[in-house]
Amino acid sequence: MKKEYKDKFPEFCSDFTKAYDLCLSDDSDSILVNNFLELETWNSTRFFYDFNMLYIEKGYKQQNPMVGCDISFVDGRCWDNHVTAISSKDIINPNSANLNSIDKINSKNNYTSKYAGSTLATVLSYYDYDISQLSEQAKMLIMCIDSHYYGFYSDRFHSTQKKWLVDVLEMDELYDIIKTHTEQDFIDLARSLNIKIPRQGKKDRDGKIWINKDGYLETEIDLKGISDILGTEITLPKQQFEPFFKQKEDEEYLILKTGYAKTDYISNREQVQKNIFSYSQTFKNSASYTYLYKVNPKQI
């Protein structure tokens, strides 16, 4: 990664003297980031977040700060890739390891200049992972994550995304892969691994990870196929999870709620919701977010 950008990343990214608890979310970008960070830096995944509920390993008493993997926390440590500001007035999370946050990208002023790549590519670049050892298919796989390839097949966005991939992330070999393959090549690979799931008459959806009724993680993503291509085992955490926010009978308690907003006429995040937990601009004029909501059981 270009030093000018790397030097602006939060301190926790390079501080291996402290223990952190990783938080996995619900797609392929997150599980690959999670596995890489477990191998290279911190080895404990204690949380799972599906954007409706935060879960914690059953019986675990939190001792360490949490680090989100491909999650746009408004406060707290996280690796992510989303635009998290509506305007320059919004306070950007200083502990977000996010190229768009570092470059002060927001939906009002410079949204089309955003980094539209994966969190995985950011992490691999930051930690100087040697991608030259990977097969051509493995390099294609990296570009499939979060549809990183997509912007390169648009005349409008190609030069911007090339700047991020080549000049900032310094991953020229991945750009070479773009030049020698069609967009359909990446679509076919992503679908074959259930990274993307086709839908009749609709845009492909992301393959998902979820909590089953017994509190264990399951996925439709082909982790074995991904592991075979990358030459390293990619796995889900095997422990049991339970809701982090506990329901109480005689006192107020917190839960998470999901919201969606059109941001065309909104000047800052507080106009959407003051108690935002995670937030991302899904498009220039729309956002997805979760917020903390206080429940009074006596009023239910």
Mean pLDDT computed over every residue of the chain: 93
Query: Residue 41, CB half-sphere, CA atoms under 13 Å: how many?
Result: 24
- Residue 299, pLDDT score: 59
**Contact status, residue 154 vs residue 202, Cβ threshold 8 Å:** no
Token readout for 106 is 């927001």
CA dihedral 123, 21, 97, 291 (to 10 degrees): 130
pTM: 0.93
- Give SS3 for 282: strand
Give dist(CA 110, CA 284) in Å, integer. 10
Give dist(CA 271, CA 240) in Å, integer. 37
Condensed to tens digits (0 to 9), the pLDDT of residues 104-158 reads 999 999 999 999 999 999 999 999 999 999 999 999 999 999 999 999 999 999 9
The beta strands (E) that lie in 90-221 are given as 96-97, 196-199, 202-206, 209-211, 217-219
Condensed to tens digits (0 to 9), the pLDDT of residues 173-227 reads 999 999 999 999 999 999 999 999 999 999 999 999 999 999 999 999 999 999 9
Is the pLDDT reported for residue 288 higher than 70? yes
Give dist(CA 20, CA 66) in Å, integer. 6
Extents of the domains making up the chain:
3-299
- Give SS3 for 164: helix
More confident call, 145 vs 253: 145
**Contact status, residue 182 vs residue 193, Cβ threshold 8 Å:** no
C-alpha dihedral sign at 46, 62, 25, 30: negative
